[in-house]
Amino acid sequence: MQQPLENNIDQEQLAEAVDVVHEEFGELCETAIILGSGLGVLAEQLKNAHFLATKDIPGYPPSTVAGHRGRWVVGELEGEKILAVQGRIHGYEGHAATVLAFPVHILASCGIKNLVMTNAAGAINRFYAPGHFMAIDDQINLTFANPLIGKNDEGLGPRFPDMSAPYDRSLSRKLVHIGTRLGIKMHRGIYVGVRGPSYESAAEIRMFERIGADAVGMSTVVEVIAAVQRGMRVIGISCISNMATGIANQPLSHDEVTEAAEKVKDDFLLLITKLVHEI
Ligand code: HPA
């Protein structure tokens, strides 16, 4: 006989995790930001900061990537309260999509309404360059995984969530205006999410270009599917760290990606600080 299907999210563990977060932070704000590779600097800028190590959150998957510190930080950016998730976990570490989505479920169950997803990405669009930012308009999930597979709990959200507008269009427009006013080079485009960890071949990048992608990265898409199911307002920001394979004629390295993020951190901080005032 077939085994009964398991819920894609363990409700008991989720409830425990939510309790721990509430115990640590008390009343939460409405906006959270998940920080991508090399973008953890934002968490260090928060004033009156409180910290919670992700290893102290029940069921939280451990991060194994250098440059990804596992902690949640609540603090203020120019007076605006925000929760920053530092040390995102990735599919290439071996986590299943449901596991990748667990932090998003905790955030949603803690009452977070607005989710700012950030990542470092390689540019497929030839008009982009390292140091530019892309407001994510839409996504292509090429991880071949989905965090909602398994038995659905209708209490969390619909079985078949609508994905016609995963990213909030008006916030995305706002982000571009804010950046442009600050003199930051901004784009709006399509993010294709892959599983990694190898970078793409040049042939794969040519395929991504043909299917309409502007930037490529190894995160975000799976978490955003869960966030949409939970009814969160999502804004996505890609920090272009390199030209994707074959677009510029040079090999890629992870150091290049983290160094590029380091170089644009002032722009990134400015952008997010202004953005959180407008959400
Ligand atoms: N490919 C995939 N992921 C990435 C890249 C890339 O070129 N740059 C930063 N993250």
Ligand 1: centre distance to CA 119 (Å): 9
CA gap 136, 148 in Å, rounded: 22
Nearest CA, atom 2, ligand 1: 217
pLDDT in tens, the chain (279 residues): 566 667 788 889 999 999 999 999 988 899 999 998 788 889 888 999 999 999 999 999 887 765 557 999 999 998 999 999 998 899 999 999 999 999 999 999 999 999 999 999 999 999 999 999 999 999 999 999 999 999 898 889 999 999 999 999 999 999 999 999 999 999 999 999 999 999 999 999 999 999 999 999 999 999 999 999 999 999 999 999 999 999 987 777 778 777 777 778 889 999 999 999 988
CA gap 130, 38 in Å, rounded: 14
Ligand 1 atom closest to the Cα of residue 217 is: 3
Domain boundaries along the sequence of the chain: 11-278
CA gap 134, 214 in Å, rounded: 9
Q: Residue 41 corresponds to which tokens in the numbers above?
A: 């600097």
* Ligand 1 site-directed mutation target among 140, 199, 200, most atoms within 8 Å of CB: 199
- Per-residue pLDDT, 88: 87
Ligand 1: centre distance to CA 228 (Å): 24
* Ligand 1 site-directed mutation target among 252, 254, 255, most atoms within 8 Å of CB: 252
Q: Residue 267 corresponds to which tokens in the numbers above?
A: 């722009």
Ligand 1: centre distance to CA 278 (Å): 29
Q: How many CA atoms lie within 13 A of 152 on its CB side?
A: 15
Nearest CA, atom 4, ligand 1: 217
Ligand 1: centre distance to CA 126 (Å): 15
- Per-residue pLDDT, 5: 65
* Ligand 1 site-directed mutation target among 35, 134, 242, most atoms within 8 Å of CB: 242
Residues within a 6 A CB radius of ligand 1: 120-122, 199-200, 216-218, 241-242, 244, 252, 257
Model-level pTM greater than 0.85? yes
Reply yes or no on domain 11-278 having CATH 3.40.50.1580.
Answer: yes
Ligand 1 atom closest to the Cα of residue 218 is: 3
Nearest CA, atom 7, ligand 1: 122
Rounded to 5°, the CA angle 91-153-34 comes to 40
DSSP H helices in 158-253: 169-181, 202-210, 221-229
* Secondary structure, 3-state, 234-259: EEEEEEEEEECECCECCCCCHHHHHH
Ligand 1: centre distance to CA 204 (Å): 12
CA gap 41, 147 in Å, rounded: 28
Omega before residue 161 within 30° of 0, cis: no
Nearest CA, atom 5, ligand 1: 122
Catalytically annotated residues: 37, 68, 90, 92-93, 120, 218-219, 242, 254
Ligand 1: centre distance to CA 203 (Å): 15
